[in-house]
Amino acid sequence: MKMINLNIIIRKVAVAIVLFHHSVFAQHVEVYTEILPPFQIMVAKQLVGTATEQVEQLLADAQLSYDIHVVPWARAYNTVKTTPNTLIYSMNRTAEREPYFFWIKRLGQIGNSFISLSNNKQNLSSIADAKNYVTAAVRDGYAYELLIELGFTIDKNLFVVATLEQQISLLLNGKIDFLFTDIQSVKLALAAQQLDPAMVSISYSEPTWIHDLYLAANIDSDPELLQQIGKVYSAQLP
């Protein structure tokens, strides 16, 4: 019987350990988001917020390395929609978006409304009323998609912007009549600027404009990556 070379065995075991470690722990994902209080917000040049905390914890538990990119929503949305192994949050889950994303985890809930300055004398009782004024929405966001679906026209009664901050600036400067977004996000953004949150209020809303927000991945992402994330999330369920 031939003697087994111990050094060869050790080398094979070492290679197997390295390959296992690489396959399990070396996955890296690019994560995209926007500023949307309280879900993701910048404090002292650091991204925090209720959704950010959940996302970071989930990725840490999945032992994935990641970078979070804070960019205008349209860039985040279109990048992840077309790029495998990328994630996005916090995103409204809608029927139109369903085929393009792997929906990983619910992060919270958001409601959209027509929002005006509290001293605004313009009363809204319907979508038809709102079409007589100019409303701002963030490009490629759920609010933007809904207003287009409802018959709003860009550069007529719909002003398209890149960020929530731009929406608020236009409203405060009298350039538009309404925002179409989440009232909580607007109030928190005003407070961060040391402005009175009470200066804005809801002019019109509908219950169907409330949606869940999700962490999602490009649908064509590596199945092993999605499985690795999915296993961790499933383990966290009660």
Q: Average pLDDT of each block of 10 consecutive residues along the chain (238 residues)?
A: 51 45 65 97 94 96 95 98 97 94 95 95 91 97 96 97 97 97 97 96 95 96 90 62
pLDDT at position 133 is 97
Return phi, psi of residue 39, to 5°.
Answer: -75, -45
pLDDT at position 172 is 97
pLDDT at position 16 is 45
pLDDT at position 234 is 66
β partners of residue 218: 101
pLDDT at position 235 is 56
pLDDT at position 121 is 79
Closest CA to 71 of 93, 40, 107, 27: 40
β partners of residue 55: none
Q: In what order do the strands lie in the sheet with 200-218?
A: 65-70, 28-33, 86-92, 200-218, 101-117, 178-181, 135-138, 158-161
pLDDT at position 180 is 97
pLDDT at position 231 is 80
Q: Are strands 28-33 and 86-92 parallel, antiparallel or unpaired?
A: parallel
pLDDT at position 11 is 55
In the 8-state DSSP scheme, what is residue 159?
E
Task: Please answer whether residues 200 and 190 qualify as being in contact, where contact means their C-beta atoms are separated by less than 8 angstroms.
Answer: yes
Degrees to nearest 5, angle at CA 212 with 95 and 225: 75
β partners of residue 212: 109
